[in-house]
Structure 1
Amino acid sequence: MDVRVQGTGPTEPFLSARDLFETEYDLDRPVWVYVREDPDERTWTSHDAEGHDLSISRQAASSAMARELALHEFAHMHRNEQAHPSHTQSTEEALYLALSGRSVERRKLTHCYQIANHMKDIYADDLTLSVAPADKLVAFLESSLATALADRPADPTNWTRLTPAADPEITAVNAAFALALVERHGLVSRDHRLYDLAHAAAQDAPGIRFERFKDRFRSLADDPGESEYRKALVDVTREYAIDEPQAAD
């Protein structure tokens, strides 16, 4: 793997992640890592025929999770190079198939993109968890869910939803994703605090079929065909946005 770090940020996390990733996988195209000064810069990747770009804030690149973030993004790059359906399927196309002719709230439409990203993350983390310990990932999932629950309003029926992160419905889906990931790989026992947090999130959003979402994420096929993956994405979108699951076209 050819990993080239640009900017004045640390290089060790990315080179360490490369060394771990190479124990099982490889990338055919070079990776350009851009460390940004903006602390609010989101970690994101882009891909083309020349290579992969990874942009990350200096704050994230210097954090305790830096190596794990890099591993996760390398896994997305690998899925992209292998043309895995989760990384080639157009989210916009799937949402059109799922929601055509329906009126959907803007916030729910935004959440549908987040759910599609969860499905991509499942397949990326199938790779990262095969080469690296899971302790930091589990701690991250636990911390993120605890923060979301702490931010929820005291009276959910009388508040204005300002951000997707503060919305009890998507928080419940995020909790379902977290449990699905740890159960898919057998990472924690049933008495782990993550289960208590997920239960609280599910209670805050009684309209969300928590167990259904968890089962959908957990049971994603390892190597789906294009139509199989499209149907899975269409079904989970309909489940969330209109609560009327139907067969995909």
Structure 2
Amino acid sequence: MDLRIQGPGPTSPFLSARDLFETEHDLSLPVYVRLRDDPDERTWAGHYEDRHVLNISRQAASSAMARELALHEFAHMARYEEDHPSHTQSTEEVLYLALAGKSVERRQLSHCYQIANHMKDIYADDITLSVGPGEKLLSFLESSLATAVADRPETPSRSGLQRLSASADPDITAVNAAFALALAERHDLVGPDESHRLYDLAHAAAMDAPAVDTMAFRRRFRDLGQETDASTYRKALVNATRSYVTSNSAAAD
């Protein structure tokens, strides 16, 4: 695996991630790591004819999660090179199939893209967690969900219950909670007794988003077939998208 780090900054997390990744996988194209100054720049992978590019802020590259972030993006690159359906399926095509004839809020549309990203991440992290430990990822999922789920403020929610989510949109927070649980369960990062704090946080998120069937999304994400073809994957994504928009529309009515 040809790794090329561009710009001043830490190199050890990327080299360590490469060493882990290469225990079971390889990439045909070189990987350019582009360190960016903007601390709010999210970590993401770009794919081109002659290379992959891992974009990451210097702040993220210096964080405790740097190696895990890099390993996750390497996994996306591997899925892209193997033409995995989760990484070749057009999200726009799925939205057209799932939402034809429906009126959808811009907020809901952005959530549909997030659902598609979660399904891509499930398959990328099947690789990530096959070569690296999951403890840091589990802590990251817990911390991220805890940030979105806050103490009850004074104003009631649309369900008549006190809101449990803070500034984050409660509907997508519930979907994110479902993803976190699904990934943890898919890779046995939590025990069967559901005693991990992640379950309490997911319950809190679900209480604040009654229109979202959090447990159903948990099953959708967790039970995605390890091996899938383009048709099966497209159907799963269409069904997930349609389910989310339909349930939200019914709640609004």
TM-score range relative to shorter protein:
over 0.9
Equivalent residue runs for 1:181-220 within 5 Å = 181-189=183-191, 190-220=194-224
Cα deviations by residue, 1:37-69 (Å, 9 ceiling, x for unpaired): 111111111111201011100000000000000
Classify 1:165/1:26 alpha carbon distance in 2 versus 1 (closer, same or farther; 3 Å): farther
Distance 2:213 2:92 in 1: 24
Shift in Å, 1:152: 7.4
Q: Once the two structures are aligned, what percentage of the paired residues are identical?
A: 70
Read off the aligned partner of 2:180 and give its amino acid letter: A
Letter in 2 for 1:175: A
Gaps spanning 5+ residues in structure 1: where? 159-163, 245-249
TM-score of the two chains, using structure 2 as the length reference = 0.91
Q: Post-superposition, which runs of at least 4 consecutive aligned residues in structure 1 deviate over 3 A?
A: 151-154
> Could you tell me how far 1:243 is from its partner in structure 2?
2.7
**What does residue 180 of structure 1 align with?**
182
Computed over aligned residues only, the root mean square deviation of the Cα atoms, in angstroms, reads 1.6
Deviation readout 1:82-130 (Å, 9 max, x if unpaired): 0000000000110111001100111000000011000000000000101
Residue pair 1:43, 1:55 contacting (<8 A) in 2 also: yes
Matches within 5 A, 1:219-230: 219-230=223-234
**Count of residue correspondences:** 239
AA paired with 2:228? P
Gaps of 5+ in 2: 161-165, 249-253
Name the CA distance, whole Å, in 2 between partners of 1:79 and 1:165: 33
* 2:71 paired residue number: 71
Aligned pair in 2 of structure 1 residues 32, 119: CA closer, same or farther (>3 Å)? same
In structure 2, relative to structure 1, the CA distance for the partners of 1:103 and 1:37 (3 Å cut) is same
Q: Cα–Cα, structure 1 residues 151 and 95, in superposed 2: closer, same or farther, change >3 Å? A: farther
Match of 1:25 in 2: 25
Judge which range, 73-82 or 167-176, deviates more.
167-176
| TM-score normalised per structure 1 | 0.93
- For residues 173-215 of structure 1, the C-alpha deviation after alignment (integer angstroms, 9 at most, x for no partner) is 1101100111111111221111111111111111111111111
**C-alpha offsets along residues 145-170 of structure 1, whole Å, 9 cap, x if unaligned?**
00000287543339xxxxx9711111
In structure 2, the residue corresponding to 1:34 is in which secondary structure?
A: strand
The CA distance in 1 between the partners of 2:132 and 2:152, in whole Å, is: 33
- Aligned position for 2:163: none
CA distance in 1, matches of 2:153, 2:6: 42
